[in-house]
């Protein structure tokens, strides 16, 4: 019996409906996702109106650049950041009598059933609408470009993740790809610094900037990323030959991506992955030999092992390294007080390290059964997971505060910034300790490809993170108020009161952070002991 490809879309909708009924947090996250997608569509509508009312050639150049970035985002973000939706993973259909073509068509249809896909399609249609009042032929060509661009986004994302997934089974490969991604991000800040300095020295005029934009858009229109967007622009300028070539480039890109995806699906169907990486030989006790033989020490040793051997954790370490570098180069742009941006790096590093433990129980997956089986006390579990982060985070953030004050020369700000940073570190660790015992969301399972995104993970993580940020903002108010007063006074009227307010921010921030840390750990410990069986069932049933 032949399965209609529409069955895949209905299956995707059924799974989505079940997920929304199962968890109120996923429902809330779904609503937030819809609102965010709607805002993106409204932004595209605003750009289209700009094209209708203003200089359409300039807007067309901007659209080509934005469109190329959209395609690049669809291709690269699933690889380096959040992964692709694995609700209908091709590997799950390996035992069913489905041909490769039928599975390819069904997965394409199912890919349309997602908030990012629908939002992208409506945004593209909105951008094409700016040609409706200019020329009917150009408008029809823009609609053809929408079809090609949307196909390149959707199929390209699936093709790359399907083909690269087997390569990502090894831990070393995953770590190498993560490092490459962060190095690429780090390279952006020095590049922006160099370009800004060049523009300041050469005095780039609006006319020269307009010419630079035209040159970049023209070159981008000859690439697979920008060709679908450049077709209408070239036709409007009367260059129909270029528009024809751009159509062929976009069509060939879409065909090649379909072929690549079909080949990847065929490989998955004939050689399904086992989902487990090769185990490495253990040498000694590792971190277990460095921590005391207590329940808290055992949990801390296992958490430390995760931090240095699990890419799901080590990516946070790369973020911690990248943040000061990005702020350093960003702070060097221009003259004067812009360099003070460096002072924001320590609080941000503290926040990243604090929220890193907010979903660590879900990261354990079935390993959490050991905690339940042996009856690990909730307090030992909470403190054990927190200790490795605190041992590294406390001296690191303090050192960053001192380094930022030295680089910027704002030594008078040091007590205030240190107080805010310590408050953020302690409070975010306390809130995260409480959150990971009560509000969990799906995570990529140990040993699986990081290119996957479990169903409901993105929305649930956004909601959880939003709640934690809101709570953190409330407890930060006293320390931030004192810090702002100290900084402003140091600029307006330097004096002894600046140091007094700074020290007050330091004392209040450290005290509030410590209190929230202790309170969060205690609340999380009680919740963990009370709900341990339910938590185990929840994390093992995550998709």
Predicted pLDDT of residue 276: 46
Terminal-to-terminal C-alpha distance of the chain: 28
**At 324, phi and psi to the nearest 5?**
-60, -35
Q: What is the DSSP letter of 4?
A: P
Give the SS3 label for residue 239.
coil
Number of residues assigned to the chain:
543
130-158 burial string, b = 16+ CB within 10 Å, else e? bbeebeeebbebbbbbbebbbbbbbbbbb
- pLDDT at 515 exceeding the cut of 90: yes
Instruction: Compute the distance between CA of residue 256 and CA of residue 246 in angstroms, rounded to an integer.
Output: 15
Q: What is the DSSP letter of 453?
A: E
Model confidence over 355-392: pLDDT tens digits? 888 888 877 877 888 888 888 888 888 998 889 888 88
Model confidence over 73-97: pLDDT tens digits? 888 777 655 555 556 666 666 666 6
Confidence tier at 468 by pLDDT (50, 70, 90): confident
Instruction: Compute the distance between CA of residue 383 and CA of residue 357 in angstroms, rounded to an integer.
Output: 11
Q: Which residue matches tokens 């965010």?
A: 36
Whole-number Cα distances in Å, 201 to 155, 188, 204, 205: 44, 20, 8, 11
Angle separating helix axes 345-355 and 311-331, nearest 10 degrees:
170
- pLDDT at 423 exceeding the cut of 90: yes
- pLDDT at 543 exceeding the cut of 70: no
Q: Up-side HSE of residue 308: CA atoms within 13 Å toward CB?
A: 9
* Mean pLDDT computed over every residue of the chain: 77
Which two structure tokens, joined as six digits, stand for 221? 């229109």
**What string of DSSP letters covers 355-366?**
HTTTTHHHHHGG
Instruction: Compute the distance between CA of residue 88 and CA of residue 543 in angstroms, rounded to an integer.
Output: 11
Element (DSSP H or E) covering residue 85: strand 84-85
Model confidence over 111-122: pLDDT tens digits? 777 778 888 888
Q: Which residues pair with 453 in a beta bridge?
A: 85
* CA angle (472 as vertex; 466, 478 as ends), nearest 5: 145
Instruction: Compute the distance between CA of residue 236 and CA of residue 56 in angstroms, rounded to an integer.
Output: 10
Name the residue with higher pLDDT: 203 or 391: 391
For residue 224, give the nearest of 273, 156, 144, 174 by alpha carbon: 156
* Sign of the Cα pseudo-torsion (404, 409, 414, 417, in order): negative
Model confidence over 111-157: pLDDT tens digits? 777 778 888 888 888 888 877 777 788 888 888 888 898 888 888 88
Give the SS3 label for residue 84.
strand
Contact 420, 480 (CB under 8 A): yes
Q: Which residues pair with 452 in a beta bridge?
A: 84
Instruction: Compute the distance between CA of residue 26 and CA of residue 89 in angstroms, rounded to an integer.
Output: 20
- pLDDT at 424 exceeding the cut of 50: yes
Model confidence over 431-447: pLDDT tens digits? 988 888 877 777 766 66
- pLDDT at 5 exceeding the cut of 70: no
Interval 189-201 mean pLDDT: 55
Give the SS3 label for residue 452.
strand
Whole-number Cα distances in Å, 242 to 51, 84, 232, 239, 458: 22, 34, 10, 6, 40
Predicted pLDDT of residue 481: 92
Element (DSSP H or E) covering residue 351: helix 345-355
284: region left, alpha or beta (phi > 0 left; psi from -120 to 50 alpha): left
- pLDDT at 280 exceeding the cut of 60: no
For residue 309, give the nearest of 377, 371, 362, 388 by alpha carbon: 388
The distance of Cα 478 from the centroid of its chain, to the nearest Å, equals 30
- Structure-derived torsion over alpha carbons of residues 524, 526, 531, 532, reported in degrees to the nearest 10: 80
Contact 343, 491 (CB under 8 A): no
The distance of Cα 341 from the centroid of its chain, to the nearest Å, equals 22
The distance of Cα 24 from the centroid of its chain, to the nearest Å, equals 23
As a whole number of angstroms, the longest Cα–Cα distance in the chain is 84
Contact 250, 149 (CB under 8 A): yes
Q: What residues contact residue 47 under an 8 Å CB cut-off, 6+ apart?
A: 59, 62, 63, 66, 126, 127, 130
Predicted pLDDT of residue 510: 93
Which two structure tokens, joined as six digits, stand for 499? 């140091």
Instruction: Compute the distance between CA of residue 108 and CA of residue 155 in angstroms, rounded to an integer.
Output: 7
């Amino acid at each position: 019996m032949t399965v209609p490809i529409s069955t895949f879309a209905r299956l995707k909708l059924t799974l989505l409906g079940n997920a929304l009924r199962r968890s109120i947090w996923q429902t809330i996250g779904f609503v937030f996702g819809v609102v965010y997608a709607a805002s993106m569509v409204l932004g595209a509508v605003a750009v289209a109106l700009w094209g209708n009312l203003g200089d359409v050639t300039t807007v067309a150049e901007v659209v080509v650049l934005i469109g190329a970035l959209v395609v690049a985002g669809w291709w690269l973000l699933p690889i380096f950041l959040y992964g692709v939706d694995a609700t209908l993973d091709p590997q799950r259909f390996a035992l069913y009598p489905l041909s490769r073509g039928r599975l390819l068509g069904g997965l394409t249809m199912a890919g349309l059933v997602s908030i990012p896909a629908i939002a992208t399609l409506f945004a593209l249609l909105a951008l094409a609408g700016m040609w409706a009042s200019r020329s009917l032929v150009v408008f029809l060509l823009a609609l053809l470009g929408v079809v090609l661009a949307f196909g390149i986004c959707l199929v390209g994302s699936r093709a790359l993740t399907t083909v690269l997934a087997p390569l990502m089974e090894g831990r070393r490969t995953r770590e190498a790809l993560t490092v490459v991604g962060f190095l690429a991000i780090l390279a952006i800040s020095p590049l922006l610094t160099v370009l800004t300095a060049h523009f300041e020295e050469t005095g780039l005029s609006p006319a020269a900037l307009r010419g630079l934009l035209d040159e970049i858009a023209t070159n981008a229109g000859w690439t697979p990323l920008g060709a679908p967007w450049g077709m209408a622009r070239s036709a409007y300028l009367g260059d129909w030959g270029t528009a024809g070539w751009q159509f062929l480039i976009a069509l060939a890109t879409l065909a090649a991506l379909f072929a690549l995806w079909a080949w990847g699906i065929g490989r998955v169907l004939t050689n399904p992955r086992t989902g487990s990486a090769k185990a490495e030989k253990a040498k000694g006790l590792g971190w277990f030999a460095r921590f005391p033989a207590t329940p808290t020490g055992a949990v801390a040793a296992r958490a430390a092992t995760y931090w240095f051997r699990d890419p799901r954790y080590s990516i946070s370490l790369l973020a911690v390294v990248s943040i000061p570098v990005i702020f350093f180069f960003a702070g060097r742009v221009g003259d004067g007080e812009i360099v003070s941006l460096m002072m924001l790096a320590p609080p941000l590093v503290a926040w990243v390290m604090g929220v890193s433990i907010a979903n660590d129980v879900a990261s354990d997956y079935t390993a959490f059964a050991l905690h339940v089986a042996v009856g690990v006390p909730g307090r030992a579990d909470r403190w054990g997971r927190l200790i490795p982060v605190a041992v590294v985070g406390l001296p690191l953030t303090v050192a960053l505060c001192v380094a930022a004050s030295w680089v910027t020369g704002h030594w008078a700000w040091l007590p205030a910034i240190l107080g805010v940073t310590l408050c953020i570190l302690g409070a975010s660790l306390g809130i995260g300790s409480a959150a990971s015992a009560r509000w969990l969301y799906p995570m990529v399972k140990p040993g699986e490809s990081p290119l996957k995104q479990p169903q409901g993970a993105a929305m649930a993580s956004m909601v959880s993170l939003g709640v934690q940020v809101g709570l953190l903002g409330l407890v930060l108010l006293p320390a931030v108020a004192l810090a702002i007063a100290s900084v402003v006074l140091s600029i307006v009227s330097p004096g002894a009161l600046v140091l007094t307010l700074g020290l007050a921010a330091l004392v209040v921030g450290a005290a509030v952070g410590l209190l929230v840390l202790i309170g969060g750990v205690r609340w999380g410990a009680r919740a963990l002991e009370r709900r341990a069986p339910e938590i185990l069932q929840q994390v093992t049933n995550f998709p």
